[in-house]
Amino acid sequence: MELDPDDAEDTLARNLGEENYDEKKLKKEHAKYKQAFFDMEKKQQQTEGKCKELTAKLQEMFSALKLVKAENQTIAADLEKAEARIQANADPEREAYIQRYALEKLKEEYEGFKKQVEDKDLKQSQELRRLQENLAGRSQADEASKQAMAAELRELAR
């Protein structure tokens, strides 16, 4: 069964409660919703692009953090080797005192570094979670708008 555009417009006008509808007004309204639909699609694509960029930046940050952690482990291993050499050539009592002191300082530095890393990880995970929630919210809103516009376009096309 083929639909006649005039019948669809008359039906639409009756559904809208308009006996004397204006065809130009109807076409203008249709074009307005169509443009809004395309604008929403464009905005969604931009949002997805920004999310991908931020995700890539976050991955870079995690990679840099892993490199810093590896460097820290290397420095700690080198320090242990140096302490072992010094210990072999030093007075045992004095060396024990120095080692305890050095160990305490290393532990303090390590705890400080560990806290900094944890804080940074927490901030990054919170930021990522916030971005994901924002993107999800925007995507849902965009999808709802798309569906509403599509329904209106279908309604207008009847």
Spatial separation of the C-alpha atoms in residues 135 and 125, rounded to whole Å: 15
Angle at 79 between CA 77 and CA 83, to 5 degrees: 120
Decide: 38 and 125 in contact? Cβ < 8 Å: no
Q: In the chain, what are the domain boundaries?
A: 5-157
Residue 34 neighbours by CB under 8 Å, 6+ apart: 149, 153
User: What pLDDT was estimated at residue 90?
Assistant: 67
Q: Per-residue confidence of the chain (158 residues) as pLDDT tens digits?
A: 444 545 555 555 555 555 556 788 888 888 888 898 999 999 999 999 999 999 999 999 999 999 999 999 999 999 999 988 877 776 778 778 888 999 999 999 999 999 999 999 999 999 999 999 988 888 888 888 889 888 888 888 77
Q: Minimal CA–CA distance to 42: which of 136, 145, 127?
A: 145
pTM confidence score: 0.33
Amino acid symbol at 80: E
Spatial separation of the C-alpha atoms in residues 134 and 123, rounded to whole Å: 16
Spatial separation of the C-alpha atoms in residues 117 and 107, rounded to whole Å: 15
